[in-house]
């Protein structure tokens, strides 16, 4: 395979179709997502395999998996797609340098005065810049930054990727809570043993191998029912299920202070030694940032370096 000829002749649309196909896991699903007919998708895959000179996907009844060459191509194609998606923003900055858009991928439970103050100063300093904040699970937020679909992420981090850079924005502590319909609501005489066998709700990242591992251990020590009856990536929906009485669930203590005060939530044992969770700002050092993105990231990193972690710890 001649690399120079490949670079000259390769059709980007074939790579784009391959990305969707690899993510969808079947020709049928990819065709539906792209609003194309199945033979069109299959033909695009065949043309790409012919152009690359390698089998990219093993397909037969009950099997759909990338080959080694397919996995390698998918990884590179996602990076190429991220660069292409950013071309519009970069070209806009050439014509008007004071404008720029910042795409923030954020976990749902971020309540941080320092972050809010930074956004205010950023807007006052760069009023022509625009922002969008997209809420998702931390895993998806990190993926968006890795593939350069987001300018930066504000989320939980379990394992650090060497491709990304990190700065801890704040620390928070999780407690266990129940809602008014729950039989333990309003009781001051509780011990951890009273929680044994009670149903639970939680976040999708509340797993031993994921970002909320300390919360998973707290639930296990409380001997809650192993089966989690409701999960969500969004704090508001976990809060909704707890208040509705579906079960006991974890929430950041500083986020739900008002709910406790208003009688919507009741904190349960344990009250000491609560799990500490770090929330980080994450960015891709290889991404070409527009002026707005660079300015906001510089402001955030500056604030983080100026303010001691003790003042960025919400108990």
N residues, the chain: 315
Distance CA 315, CA 309 (A): 12
pTM for this predicted structure: 0.66
Tens of pLDDT, residue by residue over 139-186, are: 899 999 999 999 999 999 988 999 999 999 999 999 999 999 999 999
* Closest to 157 in 3D by CA, of 148, 149, 146: 146
Token readout for 44 is: 């695009």
Residue 45 confidence (pLDDT): 86
Higher pLDDT, 195 or 15: 195
Torsion of CA 158, 166, 252, 254, to 10 degrees: 160
Residue 98 confidence (pLDDT): 42
Residue 238 CA, distance from chain mean position: 16
pLDDT tier at 1 (50, 70, 90 boundaries)? Answer: low
Strands 266-268 and 165-178: antiparallel
Token readout for 192 is: 């951890």
Tens of pLDDT, residue by residue over 113-130, are: 999 999 999 999 999 899
**What would the mean pLDDT of 224-239 be, rounded to a whole number?**
89
């Amino acid at each position: 395979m001649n690399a120079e000829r490949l670079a000259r002749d390769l059709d980007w649309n074939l790579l784009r179709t391959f990305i969707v196909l690899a993510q969808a896991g079947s020709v049928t699903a990819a065709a539906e997502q792209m609003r194309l007919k199945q033979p069109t998708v299959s033909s695009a895959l065949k043309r790409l395999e012919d152009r690359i000179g390698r089998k990219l996907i093993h397909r037969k009844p009950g099997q759909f998996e990338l080959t080694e060459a397919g996995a390698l191509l998918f990884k590179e194609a996602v990076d190429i797609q991220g660069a292409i998606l950013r071309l519009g923003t970069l070209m806009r900055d050439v014509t008007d340098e004071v404008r720029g858009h910042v795409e923030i991928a954020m976990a749902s439970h971020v309540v941080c005065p320092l972050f809010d103050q930074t956004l205010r100063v950023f807007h006052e300093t760069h009023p022509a810049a625009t922002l969008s904040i997209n809420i998702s699970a931390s895993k998806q937020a990190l993926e968006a930054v890795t593939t350069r679909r987001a300018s930066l992420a504000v989320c939980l981090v379990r394992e650090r990727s060497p491709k990304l850079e990190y700065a801890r924005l704040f620390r928070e502590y999780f407690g266990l809570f129940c809602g008014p319909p729950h039989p333990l609501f309003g009781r001051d005489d509780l011990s951890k043993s009273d929680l044994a066998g009670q149903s639970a709700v939680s976040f999708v990242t509340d797993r031993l191998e994921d970002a909320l591992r300390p919360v998973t251990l707290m639930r296990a020590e409380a001997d809650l029912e192993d089966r989690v009856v409701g999960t969500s990536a969004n704090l508001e929906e976990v809060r909704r299920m707890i208040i509705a009485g579906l079960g006991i669930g974890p929430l950041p203590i500083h986020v739900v202070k008002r709910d406790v005060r208003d009688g919507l939530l009741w904190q349960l044992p344990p009250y000491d030694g609560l799990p500490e969770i770090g929330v980080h700002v994450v960015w891709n050092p290889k991404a070409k940032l527009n002026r707005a993105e660079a300015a906001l990231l510089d402001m955030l990193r500056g604030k983080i370096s100026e303010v001691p972690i003790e003042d960025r710890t919400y108990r």
